[in-house]
Structure 1
Amino acid sequence: MRRSPLFSGVIYLLLGVLFTYFAVQNVQNDEGWGFFTYMLIFLATLDFGSGLRMVMLHFKIKKQIKHKK
């Protein structure tokens, strides 16, 4: 089963938001910035980047299909 790049992009963006939320909670509950917080921010950055890339790929494919018609 193939998923569209838009669906995958939205999932990645939601994961980025979730990891960012966990990082903010970790900083507020602990005594500042630790290794785990940096790891969560790193994962959120990767997910945001992948999500944006997938959403842009969806619109690029959609534009190419429309242009061929």
Structure 2
Amino acid sequence: MRPSPLFSGFFYCVLGVFFTIFAIQNVNDHGWGFFAFILVFLATLDFGSGIRMIMLHFRIKRKLNHSKKK
């Protein structure tokens, strides 16, 4: 069974927060190296995917409510 887009969106956002925290710690310890850029890139992808999935959830919910009213 697939998880709902809302759950997946929140999960991706939580992953984005973790990657951001790891990136901040890495930059504080070692400066802006290759690994820090990879962590920032992964955080960006996760936040983007999370926001898209949450928006998808609300679009689906709006379409279902709109079709029920007709």
What range describes the TM-score normalised by the shorter chain of this pair? over 0.9
Q: Deviations over 1:6-58 (max 9, x none)?
A: 0000000000000000000001111x100000000000000000000000000
2:58 matched residue in structure 1: 59
Runs of 5+ in structure 1 lacking a partner? Answer: none
Percent of aligned pairs sharing the same letter: 66
Q: SS of 1:2's equivalent?
A: coil
Aligned CA-pair RMSD = 0.4
1:12 matched residue in structure 2: 12
1:41 matched residue in structure 2: 40
TM-score (norm 1): 0.96
May I ask how many residue pairs the two structures share in their alignment?
Answer: 68
Runs of 5+ in structure 2 lacking a partner? Answer: none
User: 1:65 Cα deviation (Å)?
Assistant: 0.3
Off by >4 Å, runs of 4+ in structure 1: none
